[in-house]
Amino acid sequence: MKPECKINVKSRPDSGIAVSMSSGSYSSYSSSDATKETDDIDEACVTESIEMLDRVEKINPDSHNDMKSLAAAITKGLTSQSLKAHALYCWLGSIGLAKYTRCNKKQSTPSAKLRQLVEKKTTHAHIFQELCRAAGIKCERIEGFVKSKDYLPGNTVQSQKFAHTWNAVNLDGHYRLVDSFYGSRREKYFLDHYFMTSPDAFVLSHFPKEKKWLLMNQAISMEDFEDTVKTWPAMFHFNIRPLSHEISYTDI
């Protein structure tokens, strides 16, 4: 039998929704405790970001005949799975796709897969999963909905227009959320925001079809998701969190 827990009602800082917060570890509305315990991974990856980008951008997929060879080149010299996953993410986000529109290599080659990406026959999530698995990293592909640039307050996201796919990578026994498609946008604040994003922040823009991939102790509903304001990575950089469609606040 689970112990009785004292229940207090407080407002979620990222949505303005009143939720039950417990002194127990199993009924929190926020990110799972497992995710919080691995926050130190994020700091290591951020420290490596600039050096990592400079190195991986020089890796040419045309020089590799399969994904395993490419993944090995991207992760060369890295020992931890978190840094390997970050290197793969940085490479995929930095690659220029325009040159692969006329690629004639075999379908199994990295260059051909990038051509398929240009032709929308595959997705960033699919390629990131392949790279991770080739590097020995467990990676799942998640289907769901996203508040994209076309989303407006009051819209429902439950349509093909807002359908999207992203990933969860298993690092040190815990799943972390990654969206290499949005991470590939050449805009300030985008690259690192979508790598190992905290579930509390991720759920403001992404909602999975399987609620287990919210990675939260207490799942929110689709209605809650659609009721929260649309967010952008720059908001998190400046510690801005929405309370509702009308109100937001900043941590100083």
Q: What is the pLDDT of residue 1?
A: 45
Q: What is the pLDDT of residue 21?
A: 28
Query: H helices of 138-230, where?
Result: 180-183, 190-193, 199-202, 222-227
Rounded-to-integer distance, Cα 243 and Cα 149, Å: 20
Rounded-to-integer distance, Cα 184 and Cα 193, Å: 11
Kindly list the domain boundaries of the chain, sorted by start residue: 7-250
Q: What is the pLDDT of residue 49?
A: 60
**pLDDT tens for the chain, residues 1 to 252:** 434 333 232 333 333 332 322 323 222 334 555 555 545 445 555 455 667 778 888 999 999 999 999 999 999 999 899 999 999 999 999 888 887 777 667 778 999 999 999 999 999 999 999 999 999 999 999 999 999 888 888 889 999 999 999 999 999 899 999 999 998 876 666 677 899 999 989 999 999 999 999 999 888 899 999 988 888 888 887 787 776 444 333 443
Q: What is the pLDDT of residue 236?
A: 82
Q: What is the pLDDT of residue 235?
A: 83
Rounded-to-integer distance, Cα 25 and Cα 193, Å: 27
Structure token digits, residue 52? 């990592």
Give this prediction's pTM: 0.77
Q: What is the pLDDT of residue 43?
A: 53
